[in-house]
A and B are shown apart, each in its own frame.
Chain A
Amino acid sequence: MDRLRKPEVLLALGVIMLGIVALYETAEIPVSPMYAQVGPTLVAYIASGLLIALGLALLAQAWRGIWTSPPEETEAGFDLRAVGWLLLGLVLNIGLIGPLGFIPASVLLFACTARAFGSRRPGRDALIGLGFAAVAYFGFAQLLGINIGEGDLVVSLLEGLI
């Protein structure tokens, strides 16, 4: 069972799974007889089939130990705490960018990321994040004409006040 624990084996299984999901989804695409020749599914079948075949080949390589990661990868370990902080930042960003708007969500994302990279001063990080997000918002986004969202909740609150 040790072999199952090898990350390469798991990754190869993941590739196969992805290929199977793609194959299943391809089979779900309705094909009009008008386009029977080169319909919407041909390339999709080729790509998902290819992914499954490549996944199997990767699995064989990983299983027999031909495919291994270099020691600097395996010995580096996995900093769960840091990745946890990073993921928290990403989830907060997804959840808050709509209601609160870009700048507050970015401040939290910035502070969480900084924490993930070892910073211990959340207040200072948040301030820098605020400055950075403001510059990015007013400089970059407005300049490029990207509508990045002011925050629905904030807008409706302001409207309520007026």
Chain B
Amino acid sequence: METFSLLAGGFAVALQPINLMWALVGVTLGTAIGVLPGLGPALTIALLLPITFSVPPTAAFILFAGIYYGAMYGGSTTSILLNTPGESATIITALEGHKMAKQGRAAAALATAAIGSFVAGTIGTIGLTFLAPPLVEFALRFGPADYFSLMIVAFVAVSAVLGTSVLRGLTALAFGILLGLVGIDLQTGQARFTFGLPELLDGINVIVVAVGLFAVGETLYLAARPKVQASVMTLQGRAGMTKDDWKRSWKPWLRGSALGFPFGALPAGGAEVPTFISYFLEKKLSKKPEEFGHGAIEGVAGPEAANNASAAGVLVPMLALGLPTSATAAIMLSAFQSYGINPGPLLLQNQPELVWGLIASLYVGNVMLLVLNLPLVGLWAKILTIPAPWLYGGILVFATIGTYGISQSWVDLVLLYLIGGVGYLMRRFDFPTAPAVIGMILGPLAEQEFRRAMTISAGDMTTFVTRPLSLTLLVIAALLLLIPLAVRLRNRP
């Protein structure tokens, strides 16, 4: 019951005109960014991090959350009309949705994606509303050792479970942790990995890393490849979904939501896995499985819902534990740090207005997104016709603002382009980027918890295995690491 009154308080915050304005700006910007192939919410939020110096935290987080949800909606538009997934979680949507578009059913595909996203986003936000408080209750009992072990689980989950290769995921993680170590160690005052450069004493700014990996890396990657002009499908036929489409869509929406949310909420985050599972589930349950691969609407409705529900799920560990399990969540975490707010279980108690205002604005944002995406989808499709030379020119100019604005130092620009080079290699050789960003932001926090735990235990390492919770978490981390290896060994002839 308490949750309801807290949520009501959140709505009082979210419905203030100024915050409604921030939400609208966020969802609009998010949709636009989601539509552009290769640009995601993590990059956008990173570029907007300087806003934390000039607006109050509630407004900034309402904006960021709007971008996050909006990008999920926008990504599906690109997948359906361009057959290039706007982001990795919409690969499946590209598969089935683009086939529908080719048959002249683009409007129906876009509608089922948008309504499915709304249903899943709302269900996911309800899940967040009711799951976060009990999780906080539980997490309040965590000691530093338990926290450290939980972070290890998150590290393993994001780098070894997701993606195509355990090795490459862990390599990206180790690289990210090293990036996070650069600068003065706050506890001992020693400079680490600064190579004698005073510019590096403050550490590498998360903006530089995110913008380098996501914007510069992506631009280099696309420039190095042969340029092919992808053809954008035109929207024909104003008719959205038929009665039959509705009948075939509503169950996949609900099943997709039920699948996506737990995947996002468990620190085995990531939206790709549940979308794949949802796709195969719908194929199995369909009365017309032969339509799959040729434009089955269930294959758009289910995965799209799973994608959005998992986006909401990721916010559960993020807001309740301060544990980011996606690149976007990691950047949001650094926004908390920039406000001097400690994310973690105490966040809900210390900043109820911020957290509940944020959650309430997610409900509001979802409604805005439905309105923005159903009638206005033609407008968004226009974004896809921006010529690539101008699009990427503009992206690099924006990358400069975000980076050079930090301290007006050309060193930051050199660093940005070097990390961009790494981002290119990671993209080219299929290394996941999320573990690098998460390692960079979560790494220093894990070190801090490790030190706290060691101080409490007076230097006794066994504290991590004698505390039951910590031990359980470490066992989970080991299993997450070993099971994929075991499966691979068994499958090898």
List A residues at the B interface (Cβ < 8 Å): 7-8, 11, 14-15, 18-19, 22, 25-26, 29-32, 35, 37-40, 43-44, 47-48, 50-51, 54-55, 57-58, 61, 67, 69, 73, 76-79, 82-83, 85-86, 89-90, 93-95, 97-98, 102, 105-106, 109-111, 113-119, 125, 128-129, 132-133, 136-137, 140-141, 144-149
Within 8 A of A (CB), among B364-422: 387-390, 392-394, 396-398, 400-401, 404-405, 408, 410, 413-414, 417
Taking a contact as CB atoms under 8 Å apart, the answer to whether A51 and B397 are in contact is: no
Complex interface: chain B residues within 8 A of A8 (CB): 429
Q: Which of B124-132, B219-227, B300-308, B325-333 contacts A (4 or more CB under 8 A)?
A: B219-227
From known contacts A40-B192, A117-B392, infer whether A149 and B408 are also in contact, taking CB-CB under 8 Å.
yes
Taking a contact as CB atoms under 8 Å apart, the answer to whether A11 and B429 are in contact is: yes
Residue of A at shortest CB range from B398?
A: A136
Taking a contact as CB atoms under 8 Å apart, the answer to whether A102 and B174 are in contact is: no
Complex interface: chain B residues within 8 A of A147 (CB): 405, 408
Complex: A114 Cα to B191 Cα, angstroms: 40
Please classify the interface of chain B as helix (H, G, I), strand (E, B), loop, or mixed, using the class held by over half of its residues. helix
Taking a contact as CB atoms under 8 Å apart, the answer to whether A25 and B171 are in contact is: no
Complex interface: chain A residues within 8 A of B429 (CB): 7-8, 11, 69
Taking a contact as CB atoms under 8 Å apart, the answer to whether A44 and B413 are in contact is: no
Q: Among the listed A77, A79, A90, A98, which residue makes an inter-chain contact with B417, where contact means beta carbons less than 8 Å apart? A: A90
Taking a contact as CB atoms under 8 Å apart, the answer to whether A116 and B223 are in contact is: yes
From B216, B222, B413, residue with most partner A Cβ within 10 Å: B413
B450 at the interface (CB under 8 A from A): yes
Complex: A105 Cα to B414 Cα, angstroms: 15
Taking a contact as CB atoms under 8 Å apart, the answer to whether A136 and B397 are in contact is: yes
Q: Among the listed B187, B223, B404, B428, which residue makes an inter-chain contact with A35, where contact means beta carbons less than 8 Å apart? A: B187
Nearest chain A CB to B408 CB, angstrom units: 5
Nearest chain B CB to A1 CB, angstrom units: 21
From known contacts A37-B459, A47-B178, A145-B53, infer whether A125 and B171 are also in contact, taking CB-CB under 8 Å.
no
Complex interface: chain A residues within 8 A of B255 (CB): none
Taking a contact as CB atoms under 8 Å apart, the answer to whether B223 and A129 are in contact is: no
Complex interface: chain A residues within 8 A of B167 (CB): 54, 57-58, 61
19 A-B contact pairs sorted by A residue (CB < 8 Å)? A22-B178, A31-B190, A43-B450, A50-B170, A51-B171, A73-B428, A82-B223, A93-B396, A94-B413, A94-B414, A102-B401, A102-B404, A113-B392, A117-B222, A128-B393, A145-B53, A148-B405, A149-B404, A149-B408
Complex interface: chain A residues within 8 A of B190 (CB): 29-32, 39-40
Taking a contact as CB atoms under 8 Å apart, the answer to whether A97 and B430 are in contact is: no
Complex interface: chain A residues within 8 A of B425 (CB): 11, 14
Within 8 A of A (CB), among B429-459: 429-430, 443, 446-447, 450-451, 454, 459
B195 at the interface (CB under 8 A from A): yes
B339 at the interface (CB under 8 A from A): no
Complex interface: chain B residues within 8 A of A30 (CB): 190
Q: Among the listed B170, B224, B398, B450, which residue makes an inter-chain contact with A54, where contact means beta carbons less than 8 Å apart? A: B170
